[in-house]
Structure 1
Amino acid sequence: MTRYAGCQARGRVVLAASCIVAALTVWVVLHLITPYSPGLAALWTVSVVALVWGLGLALFERPGTGDPGDLVVAVAVPVFNEDPALLTACLDSLLDQTRLPNVVHVVDDGSTTGTYDEVRAGFLRAAGAHGVRARWTRTANSGKRHAQAVAFRAAPEADVYVTVDSDSVLDSRALAEGLAPFASERVMSVAGVCLIANNRRRLASRIYDLWYMSFQTVDRSGQSAMGSVLVNSGVLALYRAAVVRDNLDGYLNETFFGRPVTFSDDSMLTLYALLRGRTVQQPTCVAFTLAPDGLSHWLRQYLRWARGSTIRTWWRLRYLPLDSYAYWAHLFRTAYFPLATVMAFLLLLLHPMLNRGLVVDAMVITVLLSYLQNLRYLTYRRTDQRLASQLLTYALSPLTSLWIAFFLRPVRWYAAATCLRTGWGTRAAGVEVTLT
């Protein structure tokens, strides 16, 4: 795996470019679209305002820099059908931290691809040499939440629980940076930033990388500036231990219309934290993970995420306080989704009846908005990727927007309609992504 080299090093350039692209987009909407179709112009205007608002808020995100004190940190690593080499890299990275965890507990959730005897022996030996208390437990397959709970319950003395996916490799400063925001007693959870390790393996990998990074650097960064992150990444997240312990029974027994919910674990823990205080993202707390290596895997992963998001929408609108920024931000996002669908529908199906000039202008706006949406992708530097390669990925912004509009959006509607299917959907047949 690579190393993370810096954060927002090109922030001023991106800010200037964002202002220019936003101004061009607004001019096109007001002067070219409105004369042809005021209704469509209104839809575009809402899109531009929402995006500019999110970008503007994201500029106010600041890394936490306080001293959190001598916190007891316990890391939970649930494992199911993981590539042994990737699991080894994950565990090695936990022992290579500038701020070591106190406890690392690996819970093998009944993997069917092996027992990881060599990985286990090497990890326990290395952890002892680093002075880190290490545990390794194998359980019958009961799901990720129950595997995490085994680790949580085994460390009742912890001040902070860290959840790490078994396919994650942490930057050496990840834990030290992730703990810094806890210097504020109001902070209840901290989201790490997830970089895609195999981001140049193929065209789909670049699209995934751009899509996922833009969500973190725009949507989540804006929420973080308001202390209202709605969902942490399962790749790496940190929680006040009291938040987890106080809600553990509800976390393990969540149901939706009588059906047990096994996925969307990270968003549920984030909701518990948000109901108690501030939830933030730490842009300098970084981990690497592998993106799905094929269309089928990506589809199944996104279906799970989208079904979980549908279920979580109910809980957020029911439990978040009406006077909170998180409530209204989520309500707008929920309402905006069908609005964006209508826009895509109009442009796709009605364009033969529209003025040709309007269609061309709409395409120009789509391109401008896509580059505006993804500009903050350029703010992260990586030691394994040259600027030219990063710019190449960024150049795929229009293609990424088309992929989101005409593939992921229909999948999300299907996921909403089938949200009662609460199976995990991946890894059942074995290891799906490897380091090689």
Structure 2
Amino acid sequence: MNNRNGKNYMIFSKKKSRNIEDVLLAENGDRRLLSNVPDVEKIRSNVDRRGEKIFGDGNDIKRLSQGKKAGTRFKVDFEALLVCGKSGRKKQTIHCQVEDISSTGLSIILTEEDSKRIEEFEWYALKFEIIPGSMPEGYEMKVNIKAKMVRRRAVADNKIICGMEFNKTLSEYASKKKDRYSLVVASGLLLAVSIFIILMRAESVIYFKFNKALYLYSIIAAVFLLSRYLFGVMYKQVPINPEFTPGVTIIVPCFNEEEWIQRCILSCINQDYPADRIEVIIVDDCSNDQSVEKIKEIVEILYQEANRYQTRDRLKYLVQSENKGKRDALAWGAERAMHELLVFVDSDSFLDPFAIRNIVQPFQDPKMGGVAGRTDVANTYTNGLTKMQAVRYYISFRIMKAAEAYFDAVTCLSGPLSCYRKKIVLDNKEQWLNQTFFGQKATFGDDRSMTNFVLQNHRTSYQDSAVCSTIVPNRYNIFLKQQMRWKRSWLRESLIAGSFIWKKEPFMAVFFYMGLVVPIAAPIVVIYNLIYIPLVLRVFPTTFFVGLLMMALLMSLMQLFMRKSTTWVFGLLFCLYYEAILLWQMPIAWVTFWKSTWGTRMTPQDIEEQRKKDEQREKREAKRSTEDIADSQ
């Protein structure tokens, strides 16, 4: 709590009844907290029994990862039809309820009578529909698959839970029944859209002399976007070398994140990585909610795990005495890190069990300074806004960052999951912490800022197999504030990067400057097309709208092609929303890019901004009161 001029300003986290509850995948988790950590004493195996038969015994890391994902169970509540058959007998169909599901099988609830009845049959088939949000994106489909019963257990009310194992995984089923059609349709449409865009830009070359500025912009925008998709598709990640396990320290900065911090910590410590080569440091930035209590609670629970997991040696938390900001929290953790690589993870993000093993692989190159992992949206199916963000996130990482990685020059190692060499972070720590703009301390954009320090003398990359999921805003007012902060950060750091990026690979430099010009000039181009052309030239901007539609289709179809998800249509909606709303934040960012307030949480800078607004409001009210008194006299 700060006290200025006798008035209290408290840093707080708002929790109102009008908040929208996030919808997340409900994993039916393992009873073991550290089920993914390799056990050096071989008392426990970190191989999932549901994936072991298909994906091996754990000696092959890639197959182990596939088996883990295939065996992950998700709690569901939908109906299925169990079809039972036997030679010489009529098939029988039983309605049942599905309790949980994975790619390798599911559990159904039967009455005791039905459970005994199905024992007489020789083969089984299951018919059901996977609705969006019950399993990871790409699994939504209607299923008719053969299975076998592998176990049974009795529960209350004379019910029996039967474990059914599919004859093939749902991934294999989807690739034959659904995905091949999605691929054919999406690839055909992508080719058609790309050709159409190229032909439109060829027209721009023909009419270039009539409006050089407008047609030059359209050519640059088309070349930039098409090149991003081309190089993004050409991208290849670094394969896993099981012998390469450098020491890693994961640093989690936390401020008022009581809802998600425990899940974040568990995902960081429960990694398929040698226990003696990884540590986790949580740094609380003087939260005033229950974050510290939640951190202490989960840390104490993890300390009770068996000594062979070394939790007391490799898990610690620090609490800052005052709110200093995210950069200070990260730097404090970096100073205390024992290992050579630092992984920064946001406190509302959750790591895949193989995220660390994957994100370190590019560091086999001694010139590699930093690597970004892929960030998926954890609460995709909450509402339309989160679905739009899910498409945007996937394209931003799998296409845009992947395209930059093709040239070893990723310009933003994003906050949810990124990895750096500790020496680079410590060497640039003072400049990073003391960065200012127009006299204002830089309080956000820590990821882009540190990336710039790394990029000046080192390579940066992207590892698509290093995955985390993050909670995104589910309300438009919070989302818009976040986007304004991101645009200010992008503008500041892009201008800084522009001063040295020309020293990098020439192709990369050209595309970087294209990417800088396109969004900055976009509002002017839109105004020209939607206002000047119709009102002054009396021409309907058909070409503009067709071009916008083609770019939106390119984004959406790429989501369908690469992820086979039903969310692809929200890519179209996001592009429209961007043109109507988000685009117009850019001119505001031009004239306010030095501001240091977050907008989405009450940092010290936000508190100071609020104090000034309150003082101005009080002055106005006092002035009106004085005027009212004077009028009454």
Bucket of the pairwise TM-score, normalised by the shorter protein: 0.7 to 0.9
Q: 1:46 aligns with which of 203, 214, 220?
A: 220
Q: 2:544 aligns with which of 339, 358, 362?
A: 362
Question: Shift in Å at residue 322 of structure 1?
Answer: 3.1
Residue 87 of structure 1 corresponds to which residue in structure 2?
261
SS at match of 2:302: helix
- TM-score relative to the length of structure 1: 0.87
The amino acid across from 2:297 in the alignment is A
Tell me, yes or no, if the aligned pair for 1:7 and 1:283 is still in contact at 8 Å. Answer: no
Tell me, yes or no, if the aligned pair for 2:254 and 2:347 is still in contact at 8 Å. Answer: yes
Structure 2 distance, partners of 1:329, 1:45, is: 13
SS at match of 1:169: strand
The amino acid across from 1:291 in the alignment is V
The amino acid across from 1:78 in the alignment is P
SS at match of 1:200: helix
Greater Cα offset, 176-185 or 328-337 = 328-337
Residue 293 of structure 2 corresponds to which residue in structure 1?
117
The answer to whether 1:404 aligns with 2:578 is yes
Deviation string for 1:38-60 (max 9, x for gaps)?
A: 53555433322221111111122
The answer to whether 1:78 aligns with 2:253 is yes
- Pick closer, same or farther for the CA change 1:299–1:216 going to 2, 3 Å: same
SS at match of 1:136: strand
Deviation string for 1:48-90 (max 9, x for gaps)?
A: 2221111111122111115373311101101001133x11111
Task: Pick the structure with more strand per residue.
Answer: 2
Residue 62 of structure 1 corresponds to which residue in structure 2?
236
Structure 1 distance, partners of 2:404, 2:372, is: 11
- TM-score relative to the length of structure 2: 0.61
Tell me, yes or no, if the aligned pair for 1:217 and 1:376 is still in contact at 8 Å. Answer: no
Question: Shift in Å at residue 414 of structure 1?
Answer: 0.5
Tell me, yes or no, if the aligned pair for 1:63 and 1:282 is still in contact at 8 Å. Answer: yes
Question: Shift in Å at residue 282 of structure 1?
Answer: 0.5
Question: Shift in Å at residue 36 of structure 1?
Answer: 11
Deviation string for 1:225-264 (max 9, x for gaps)?
A: 1101000110000111111111111111111222211111
The answer to whether 1:138 aligns with 2:319 is yes
- Pick closer, same or farther for the CA change 1:331–1:24 going to 2, 3 Å: closer
- Pick closer, same or farther for the CA change 1:329–1:20 going to 2, 3 Å: same
The amino acid across from 1:377 in the alignment is Q
The answer to whether 1:272 aligns with 2:453 is yes
The answer to whether 1:178 aligns with 2:350 is no
Task: Pick the structure with more helix per residue.
Answer: 1
Tell me, yes or no, if the aligned pair for 1:374 and 1:394 is still in contact at 8 Å. Answer: yes
Structure 2 distance, partners of 1:191, 1:25, is: 31
The amino acid across from 2:249 in the alignment is A
The amino acid across from 1:263 in the alignment is F
Deviation string for 1:388-435 (max 9, x for gaps)?
A: xx33x3223333222212311211221221112112222229xxxxxx
Gaps (5+ residues) in structure 2? 1-23, 28-68, 71-135, 139-174, 604-633
The amino acid across from 2:394 in the alignment is M
SS at match of 1:280: strand
- Pick closer, same or farther for the CA change 1:216–1:70 going to 2, 3 Å: closer
Question: Shift in Å at residue 303 of structure 1?
Answer: 1.4
Q: 2:441 aligns with which of 260, 265, 279?
A: 260
- Pick closer, same or farther for the CA change 1:15–1:273 going to 2, 3 Å: farther
Residue 426 of structure 1 corresponds to which residue in structure 2?
600
- Pick closer, same or farther for the CA change 1:410–1:236 going to 2, 3 Å: same
Tell me, yes or no, if the aligned pair for 2:534 and 2:540 is still in contact at 8 Å. Answer: no
Q: 1:328 aligns with which of 510, 517, 540?
A: 510
Residue 432 of structure 1 corresponds to which residue in structure 2?
none
Structure 2 distance, partners of 1:55, 1:105, is: 37
Q: 1:21 aligns with which of 189, 193, 204?
A: 193
Gaps (5+ residues) in structure 1? 382-386, 430-436
- Pick closer, same or farther for the CA change 1:370–1:83 going to 2, 3 Å: same
Alignment RMSD, CA only?
2.9
The amino acid across from 1:364 in the alignment is V
- Pick closer, same or farther for the CA change 1:198–1:300 going to 2, 3 Å: same
Question: Shift in Å at residue 35 of structure 1?
Answer: 7.0
Q: What does 1:372-391 align with in structure 2 at a 5 Å threshold?
A: 372-378=554-560, 381=563, 387=564, 390-391=565-566
Greater Cα offset, 340-349 or 134-143 = 340-349
SS at match of 1:209: helix
The answer to whether 1:169 aligns with 2:350 is yes
- Pick closer, same or farther for the CA change 1:339–1:421 going to 2, 3 Å: closer
Tell me, yes or no, if the aligned pair for 2:386 and 2:474 is still in contact at 8 Å. Answer: yes
Tell me, yes or no, if the aligned pair for 1:22 and 1:48 is still in contact at 8 Å. Answer: no
Greater Cα offset, 358-367 or 290-299 = 358-367
The amino acid across from 2:458 in the alignment is G
The amino acid across from 2:358 in the alignment is E
Structure 2 distance, partners of 1:49, 1:165, is: 34
Structure 1 distance, partners of 2:234, 2:189, is: 17
Q: Which of structures 1 and 2 has the bigger CA Rg?
A: 2
Residue 281 of structure 2 corresponds to which residue in structure 1?
105
Q: 2:590 aligns with which of 392, 408, 416?
A: 416
Q: 1:292 aligns with which of 473, 484, 491?
A: 473
Structure 2 distance, partners of 1:108, 1:151, is: 10
SS at match of 1:287: strand
Tell me, yes or no, if the aligned pair for 1:78 and 1:108 is still in contact at 8 Å. Answer: yes
Structure 2 distance, partners of 1:298, 1:104, is: 30
* Number of positions where the alignment pairs a residue of Structure 1 with one of Structure 2: 419
Runs ≥4 residues deviating over 6 A: 3-12, 32-37, 354-357
Tell me, yes or no, if the aligned pair for 2:435 and 2:441 is still in contact at 8 Å. Answer: yes
The answer to whether 1:214 aligns with 2:395 is yes
Structure 2 distance, partners of 1:191, 1:144, is: 18
- Pick closer, same or farther for the CA change 1:113–1:238 going to 2, 3 Å: same
Tell me, yes or no, if the aligned pair for 1:93 and 1:170 is still in contact at 8 Å. Answer: yes
- Pick closer, same or farther for the CA change 1:321–1:37 going to 2, 3 Å: closer
Question: Shift in Å at residue 161 of structure 1?
Answer: 0.1
Q: 2:522 aligns with which of 328, 334, 340?
A: 340
Structure 1 distance, partners of 2:234, 2:137, is: 14
Deviation string for 1:262-295 (max 9, x for gaps)?
A: 1110011211221222111101111001111211
